[in-house]
Amino acid sequence: MITLATKEMVPQLKKMWQICFQDEISYVDFYYDNRFKEENTYVYKKGEEILGMLTLLPASYRYTDDETLPIHYVYAVATLPKAREQGIASELLEEASRTSEENYSAGTILVPANKELFSYYERRGYQTIYFKKQLYFKAAAEQMLSVASIKAENVRVHGVSLAYENNYEKKDILPEEYKQLRDFHFDRPGYVKWNLEAITYAVNEARFAGGKVLKLSVDNHSYAVMYYKKNNQLVIKETTLPEDLIADAIAYLMKEEECLEAIVTVPSYYAFEGELQPYAMVRLNTEAYANGYFNLALD
C-alpha cells in the first residue's frame, strides 16, 4: 500500500535512508530536520513496515519565454534490500506521475544515482534531456607542486595562471540573493527553477557539508558560486559566472583556496570546451527542451 508519510514514520525512514544511501546519521538528521515534509514523502507499506519511499519536491519549469509550469522532482527513491525486485520502486514512480498529472504539472524530473540507472528509468518512461558540462582546470606547469590528479580522457584540461587579472571580492551570500542571481542568469526555456525554500536548503546543506556559498564581485557585477574542496581540488557545483570570466575567476578561487586543480559544472549550452555528461531525466506531460538547465538536485 502506498500512502503519505507521517511524523511517526520518521525513525523508520531514517533507518531506511542509512541502509540504502549509506549517509552519516548527522546528514540524515539534517535532512529530516530541514527538508522533510509529510505531504512530499510517499511510502510503500506492508502492514506496519515501510519497504520503500520516494520524495516529490515542487519546482517550476520554464516552458516558454512567457509561460512557467509546475514540475516535480523525484528524490530519494529507495527500497529495502530484502524487498527489491518486487516492483515497489516502479509503483512509487507511477504514483509520482499520477500526482504530477493531478496537479497539472509539466511532469516529473529525476537524477539517476549512477550510470546503470539511466536504462532502468528509461524503461519506465523517462528520457534524458538534461546534461551538465564539466570544465577541468589545473595550475600552469611552473606552479604545480604535485602531479595533477585530473584524469579526463579525451577532454581538454585548461591550464590557468594563478596570477589572475581582475580584482575580486568574495563574501557569504544570503539564499535570497543567491536565488536572484541564479534565476537571472539561467532563466530560459527548459530551466528548472527552485523556490526560496529549496534554495535556502541547498545553501545550508552545502555549508553543513563543509562547502562554501559566496557572492563574487568584480567591476560592479556580482556572481554566485557554490563549491567545496576535495584534497587539492576545487569542486564548483554551480556558478553564475559568465563564460568570458570563468577561467580568471577560477584561477582566483584556486589561489584563495590553495588548490592546484578545479572541476567546474556549467550548463550544457556553454561554448566553453568541457566534458558533456548525462545528468537528469524527465517524464513530461508537455514538450521537452533539450538545452535547459537543472542543478542543485541534492545529488
Please give, one letter per residue, the 3-state secondary structure of 20-76.
Answer: HHCCCHHHHHHHHHHCCCHHHEEEEEECCEEEEEEEEEEEEEECCCCCEEEEEEEEE
Could you give the CA distance from residue 80 to residue 260 in angstroms, rounded to a whole number? Answer: 41
- Residue 152 sits in a domain whose CATH number is 3.40.630
Alpha helices in the chain (DSSP H): 10-21, 25-34, 88-102, 117-122, 175-186, 196-208, 243-256
User: Do residues 144 and 102 share a domain?
Assistant: no
User: Do residues 195 and 250 share a domain?
Assistant: yes
User: Do residues 171 and 266 share a domain?
Assistant: yes
- Number of Cβ within 10 Å of residue 276's Cβ equals 11
User: Do residues 31 and 78 share a domain?
Assistant: yes
- Is residue 116 in a domain? no
The one-letter code for the residue type at 27 is: Y
3-class DSSP state of 160: strand
Chain segment 39-85, per-residue pLDDT in tens = 999 999 999 999 999 999 999 999 988 899 999 999 999 999 999 99
Could you give the CA distance from residue 106 to residue 63 in angstroms, rounded to a whole number? Answer: 8
C-alpha cell at 194: 527552485
The answer to whether residue 226 scores a pLDDT higher than 70 is yes
- Is residue 294 in a domain? no
Could you give the CA distance from residue 46 to residue 51 in angstroms, rounded to a whole number? Answer: 7
C-alpha cell at 147: 602531479
Chain segment 146-175, per-residue pLDDT in tens = 434 555 556 678 888 788 899 999 999 999
- Is residue 45 in a domain? yes
pTM of the entire predicted model: 0.92
User: Do residues 104 and 140 share a domain?
Assistant: no
Q: Would you say 15 and 57 are in contact if contact means Cβ atoms under 8 Å apart?
A: no
Could you give the CA distance from residue 258 to residue 243 in angstroms, rounded to a whole number? Answer: 23
Number of domains in the chain: 2
C-alpha cell at 23: 549517509
pLDDT given for residue 153 in this prediction:
58
pLDDT given for residue 167 in this prediction:
95
Could you give the CA distance from residue 189 to residue 172 in angstroms, rounded to a whole number? Answer: 30
Could you give the CA distance from residue 183 to residue 231 in angstroms, rounded to a whole number? Answer: 31
Chain segment 235-261, per-residue pLDDT in tens = 999 999 999 999 999 999 999 999 999
Q: How far is CA 50 from CA 20, 58, 84, 266, 297, in A?
A: 13, 23, 13, 38, 25
Q: For residue 269, give its domain range.
A: 132-278
| Helix, strand, coil % in the chain, rounded to nearest 5 | 30, 35, 35
Could you give the CA distance from residue 100 to residue 94 in angstroms, rounded to a whole number? Answer: 10
User: Do residues 158 and 274 share a domain?
Assistant: yes
pLDDT given for residue 163 in this prediction:
80
Q: Which residues of 32-69 are buried (b: 16+ CB within 10 A; e: fewer)?
A: beebbeeebbbbbbeeeebbbbbbbbbbbbbbeeeeeb
pLDDT given for residue 289 in this prediction:
74
- Residue 14 sits in a domain whose CATH number is 3.40.630.30
pLDDT given for residue 140 in this prediction:
77
Chain segment 180-218, per-residue pLDDT in tens = 999 999 999 999 999 999 999 999 999 999 999 999 999
